[in-house]
Amino acid sequence: MARNKHPEETVNLILDVAFQLFMEKGYEHTSIQDIINHLGGLSKGAIYHHFKSKEDIIAAVIDRMTEESNQMLAKVRDRDDLTGKEKLKAIFKESILRPVQEDIFTVAPNFSNSPRLLFCIFRETMDEAAPDYILPIIRQGISDGSIQTDYPEELTELVMLAANIWMNPMIFDDTVEESYRKFMVFRQMMEGFGLDIVDEELLDRLQELAFIYQKNR
Amino acid sequence: MARNKHPEETVNLILDVAFQLFMEKGYEHTSIQDIINHLGGLSKGAIYHHFKSKEDIIAAVIDRMTEESNQMLAKVRDRDDLTGKEKLKAIFKESILRPVQEDIFTVAPNFSNSPRLLFCIFRETMDEAAPDYILPIIRQGISDGSIQTDYPEELTELVMLAANIWMNPMIFDDTVEESYRKFMVFRQMMEGFGLDIVDEELLDRLQELAFIYQKNR
DNA sequence: CCCTTAATACCGCACGACGGTATGTATTTG
DNA sequence: CAAATACATACCGTCGTGCGGTATTAAGGG
């Protein structure tokens, strides 16, 4: 195999293949050899030239998955024309309206048989997304009076756990009705915290998304 | 090594060692050979006589961990002198007062580096404990009027996610204050659902437990 | 523009460790 | 005494990983 003048293409190819296989068979049941076989001529040395371990590959895969989501979160977080509560509402709306999610749905049946992948999403959500993006917004909400709580860190965690993990149809293999019901319960929970951030448009879009997901499984 | 007249002792020994190692080093970083080395003379043949795979061992470990908790849940669930809401309150009180938890705390630093273990707890909570124990109670609460919700399954899942996963100090490496704060947020969430099941005695006990855990890490 | 040199991209093999199995053997049970 | 049980031992295929080697590219001097 000839050497590639643009190594980033090779890296992306490896990540594409790895992502696909991790989703289909799970991280632990995907061997390096599996990845090689789907690489079209590239060898084991190529992989270990670009990545220092199998672990390193999954880290990169997760990074690529969450990158644009995090960019959106940062953009909303850094706006200065919204209150904390309005930012929360904007984020929930964006994350549901974002068309990219459809691509992921079509490729990813579910995370159910991939403990490692679920674990990484879990960590990324709780250790990165929550404190870096949502917490500052909730703190701002406390300052500007749009959010009331004595425990911003914990409220952030619980909300992220519900929204990013529990309501993630890739993790929980939900049907249309289940997704809808979760959203209703989520809404009630948020209202219990004084946060009415769910409107009818969001509910409609959710049902639409769940339907798309339903078709491709 | 001489053959044991009571094979269940051997099984228990294997599970003890496996549990300990899984907690210390994580499931994926504990090899069968690791387990053998801590077995005191027993060999690989012994393990594969009693368990058909490494996977089978972790399943048994999880079973043993959740067994007595599940027995308690079943006992409360099957009482007929309490309303649904009262049963929920009883369960939360029991699960925090139960002294057994102290043993686990002293042995188990955390689940942080064990994706597989976390995954199993996760599945056991959502797929077993939630529908088998908590859901019937919530359904009863709807019948007897002590609980109001249109979505019993989803409410069950969310509550279990918060109580069994998020507030589990073995999974989240919480300090005393963090545990306490989580509990306060949890209380607020439950009240948002019309469920005032947390009282002062529970809060006191929680702080006590968190302190014990804090000492042994 | 060519030649040299260093860095890079990739190959392919070999290694040790791993999970798992097949077979053998001693002990217990009935 | 025979069948079942409780182990031991030797072995297999595969895995993740490291390394020596090679071909391609980029950089710079003349």
* Residues of B with Cβ-Cβ distance to A126 under 8 angstroms: 172
Residue B204 pLDDT grade (very low, low, confident, very high; cuts 50, 70, 90): confident
CA distance A211 to A174: 11
The CATH number given to B62-215 is 1.10.357
Question: Global pTM?
Answer: 0.87
Q: State whether A158 and B153 contact (CB < 8 Å).
A: no
Q: CATH 1.10.357 region(s) of chain B?
A: 62-215
Domain at A65-215, CATH class? mainly alpha
Q: Which two tokens stand for residue B28?
A: 């994926």
Nearest nucleotide to B51 (CA to C1') is C20
pLDDT over threshold 90, residue B46: yes
Q: Contact B74/B181 with Cβ under 8 angstroms? A: no
Q: Between residues A140 and A7, which one has the greater pLDDT?
A: A140
Average confidence (pLDDT) over A177-198: 91
B1-51 has CATH 3.30.70 classification: no
pLDDT in tens, A66-111: 998 999 999 999 999 999 999 999 999 888 777 544 444 445 556 7
Nearest to A130 by CA among A156, A104, A94: A156
User: Which has more confidence, B4 or A15?
Assistant: A15
Strand D closer than 7 A to residue B29 Cβ? no
- Is the CB of B44 within 7 Å of strand D? yes
CATH 1.10.10 domain extents, chain B? 1-51
Does any strand C atom come closer than 7 Å to the Cβ of B52? yes
Query: What average pLDDT score do residues B165-184 get?
Result: 86
Do B88 and B197 meet the contact criterion of CB atoms below 8 Å apart?
A: yes
What is the overall mean pLDDT for chain B? 88
CB contact under 8 A, A181 and B153: yes
How many angstroms separate the CA atoms of A130 and A146, rounded? 19
Percent of chain A with pLDDT over 90: 62
Q: Would you say residue B53 has pLDDT above 70?
A: yes
To the nearest whole angstrom, how far is the Cα of A126 from the nearest Cα of chain B? 10
Nearest to A47 by CA among A38, A57, A55: A57
Give the residue from chain B lying closest to A179, CA to CA: B154
| A88 half-sphere exposure, CB direction, 13 A CA radius | 30
Rounded distance between C-alpha atoms, residue B83 and residue A128, angstroms: 41
- pLDDT for residue B110: 61
Convert the pLDDT of each residue in B115-166 to its tens digit: 998 999 999 999 999 999 999 999 999 999 999 999 999 999 999 999 999 9
Give the number of A-B residue pairs with CB atoms closer than 8 Å.
83
∠ Cα B199 B203 B209 (to 5°): 145
Contacts with B172 from chain A: Cβ below 8 Å: 126
List pLDDT tens digits, range B64-113: 999 989 999 999 999 999 999 999 999 998 887 775 444 554 455 567 77
Residues of chain B contacting residue A150, judged by C-beta atoms under 8 Å apart:
184
Identify the band that residue B3 occupies on the pLDDT scale cut at 50, 70 and 90. Answer: confident
Q: How confident is the model at residue A175 (pLDDT cuts 50, 70, 90)?
A: confident
The pair of three-digit structure tokens given for residue A66, joined into one six-digit string = 């969450």
Give the best residue of A118, A189, A198, A206 to mutate against chain B (max B CB count within 10 A): A189
Instruction: List, by residue range, all CATH 1.10.357.10 domains of chain A.
Output: 65-215
How many Å does it take to go from CA B137 to C1' D26? 71
pLDDT at residue B176 greater than cutoff 80: no
Best residue in A122, A138, A158 to probe B by mutation, most B CBs within 10 Å?
Answer: A158
pLDDT score of A105: 46
Please state whether strand D lies within 7 Å of residue A6 at its CB atom.
Answer: no
Q: How confident is the model at residue A63 (pLDDT cuts 50, 70, 90)?
A: very high
Q: Which nucleotides of C are covered by protein (CB under 7 A)?
A: 8-14, 17-24, 26-29
Secondary structure tally for chain A: helices H, strands E = 11, 0
Q: Do B166 and A186 touch (CB under 8 A)?
A: no
- Collect all residues with Cβ–Cβ distance below 8 Å to A147 and sequence separation of at least 6: A84, A85, A88, A138, A141, A194, A195
